[in-house]
Amino acid sequence: MSCAPGSVDRRSYHGRMRTRDRIIDAAEQAIREFGITGATTRRIARQAGCSEALIYKHFSGKEELFLAVLLERLPALGPALARLRLATGQGDLAANLTEFALKALEFYARAAGIASGVLADPSLLDGFRSMLAKADMGPHLPIQALAGILRDEQRGGRLDGGLDPDAAAAMLMGACFHRANLSYFVELPQEDKPWAAAVVGTIVRC
């Protein structure tokens, strides 16, 4: 049985996935420890217990590897947006948005190391930018998704009709992104939860 082609394929697929996972884990740890510049493929390979060549068999380059860390290892915004969408028209809108803002803060704080590392390295940024454009992805999409949800809440009468949902979404996500970055530089005076509630209150006030 174990020699049947299907079984072999499955086994090698799982083997590939295990190696890929090990490389992503190693990359995440290297970034945390040494910053993105210090996260060399040599260090990542040593940590993952594989050769540098094997890294390039799984990933076209550092850009793709770092994107995999972002998408597959960090607390994602996707599930938080999905939860918010599911709750449209239900529960307390301010409370739902505050919970979402706290998730966004957490995501941006953990993603900051990679995002800033990419931005600070002109050649890595070039590669990342082309990759995002080709895949039709990008860090602006969560703003658009949030704007869609706010638009629906507005249609349902739970948000002021005069509010611009795109602008409100840009402000809510922007405030979270900024705060997550600030927290690396200075001790912030206010706790996250009352801060998030106040920020959401600016949108849900009317």
Looking at the Cβ atoms of 21 and 121, the one nearer to its own copies is 121
Give least dist CB 54 to its own copies, A.
26
Cα 99 to Cα 114: distance, rounded to the nearest angstrom = 24
Cα 65 to Cα 44: distance, rounded to the nearest angstrom = 11
Give least dist CB 99 to its own copies, A.
17
Cα 45 to Cα 40: distance, rounded to the nearest angstrom = 9
Looking at the Cβ atoms of 2 and 123, the one nearer to its own copies is 123
Enumerate binding residues for its own copies (CB under 8 A): 33-38, 112-113, 115-122, 125, 128-129, 132-133, 138-140, 160, 162-164, 166-168, 170-179, 181-182, 184-188, 195, 198-199, 201-203, 205-206
3-state SS string for 19-78: HHHHHHHHHHHHHHHHHHHHCCHHHHHHHHCCCHHHHHHHCCCHHHHHHHHHHHHCCCHH
Give least dist CB 79 to its own copies, A.
21
Q: What is the DSSP letter of 3?
A: T
Q: Do 153 and 159 contact (CB within 8 A), yes or no?
A: yes
Give least dist CB 156 to its own copies, A.
19
Q: What is the DSSP letter of 161?
A: T
Looking at the Cβ atoms of 54 and 199, the one nearer to its own copies is 199
Q: What is the DSSP letter of 105?
A: H
Looking at the Cβ atoms of 49 and 194, the one nearer to its own copies is 194
Looking at the Cβ atoms of 50 and 199, the one nearer to its own copies is 199
Give least dist CB 84 to its own copies, A.
18
